[in-house]
Amino acid sequence: MEPTVVVESSLEQKAKVDEPRPVKPRLVSLDVFRGMTVAAMILVNDPGTWNAIYPPLEHAEWNGWTPTDLVFPFFLFIMGVALEFSLAARRTAKTRSEGTPVIRHVIYRALILFALGVFLNGAPYFPLHRWRVMGVLQRIALCYLVAALLALKTRVRARVAVVAGLLVGYWALMTLVPVPGFGRGQLDPEANLGAYIDRALMYGHLWRPRWDPEGWLSTLPAIATAILGGLAGHWLRSPAAASRKVLGLIVFGAVGMALGEIWNLWFPINKNLWTSSFVLFTAGFASVLLAACYWIVEILGWKHWGLPFQVFGKNAIFAYVLSIALAKVGINVKFTAGGNLTSLQGYVYQHLFAPLATPRMSSLLFAVTFVVVCWLPTALLYRRKIFLKI
């Protein structure tokens, strides 16, 4: 029997070269974890009344942490994990040659996120004299920009070095550089170096009159949070066995939490300052919870319980922006009821929720209902397979 010789044309050979390499499937566990984080973010941001909240649903007064203080760093960590998968997909997608290069897309997305955050800060009245510059979406945009560029242009060792430089450098700046009028090593709301820089650059446009929890200097360690998430994502994309990936995330998380607690002795865990100890502790915590989600969903195959969270997880920015828009409507739509001027939110809370239980429980019931209200249109998008991305 004569051997068969197959000769490929040059066009066929080129097609094979241009054919994208297979990209690992989307992690359902990551969508579930992100959805849980978005739900928690909406829940803690929208109580029925700020005068009656259960302590775990409030931020720590200053140093220390509560479950509420974990929500934002978890989101940045998850964003870093997702970056590893999304950038890998973009590198291998056929559409890459048809449109905008990856770096240009990263810059474009960061600008849109930042602009959206600034717009939402001012809506609906846009007061130019006190329009807040920074905010949650703005910090997400800056962290996304730097973490994505580093993921595209550097290796793992370089990113580890960047994280170390950011955390040690931030600690040195905050504790060793003297602040005019206050001296050095002051970590009070108004006396720290970050607040001083924010007043110099954005006075009158801060969250509080003299400081901002999402200021410029404290964004540096927040970037480290996103990079650490990226390192976790790099590990999840590796060819290691699934059980080994879980173990690695747990070890990484335990080490991060321990180092954060140790550093806390000299540089307190503080969400408002986004201290280096806060970065290590929260990234470690997020890694452990991601390991738990990965084990339950990807290894054990228990996926159905996470479907409600996938709805938020696959349209995270839409759900968060929707929650802000609805909250602003509730606060700014006002009318007279019973001879008193009241807001739409105040009226709904006082007449529908306050009579149901104690003030704290009524406030929580309002917040849970608000989460459900935000979930319904997001679920409609999910059902129709519409995933809004920037």
In a domain, 1, yes or no: no
As a whole number of angstroms, the distance between CA 276 and CA 220 comes to 10
pLDDT for 389 equals 80
Answer whether residue 247 is part of any domain: yes
Domain contains 228: yes
Q: Is residue 124 part of a domain?
A: yes
Question: What are the tens digits of pLDDT across the range 220-229?
Answer: 999 999 999 9
Quick check: is 170 in a domain? yes
How far is it, in rounded angstroms, from Cα 102 to Cα 98? Answer: 11
pTM: 0.90
Split into its structural domains, the chain has a count of 1
Q: What pLDDT band is residue 190 in, cutting at 50, 70 and 90? A: very high
* 150-186 pLDDT, tens digit each: 999 999 999 999 999 999 999 999 999 999 999 999 9
Band of residue 93 on the pLDDT scale cut at 50, 70, 90: low
Residue 340's pLDDT is 85
Residue 135's domain comprises: 24-55+70-383
Split at pLDDT 50, 70, 90, the class of 107 is very high
Residue 12, domain member (yes or no): no
Do 159 and 170 form a contact (C-beta atoms < 8 A)?
no
- Give residue 91's pLDDT: 63
> What sign results for the dihedral spanned by CA atoms 112, 113, 116, 121?
negative
Residue 118's beta-bridge partner residues? none
In a domain? residue 118: yes
pLDDT higher than threshold 60 for residue 48 = yes
Buried b (16+ CB within 10 A) or exposed e, 65-86: bbebbbbbbbbbbbbbbbbbbb
pLDDT band at residue 313, thresholds of 50, 70 and 90? Answer: very high
What's the average model confidence in pLDDT over 343-355?
94
pLDDT at 239 exceeding the cut of 70: yes
Res 92: pLDDT? 60
Query: Is the pLDDT higher at 373 or at 335?
Result: 373
Note the pLDDT tens digit of each residue in 266-278.
Answer: 999 999 999 999 9
Instruction: Answer whether residue 100 is part of any domain.
Output: yes
Q: What is the pLDDT of residue 102?
A: 87
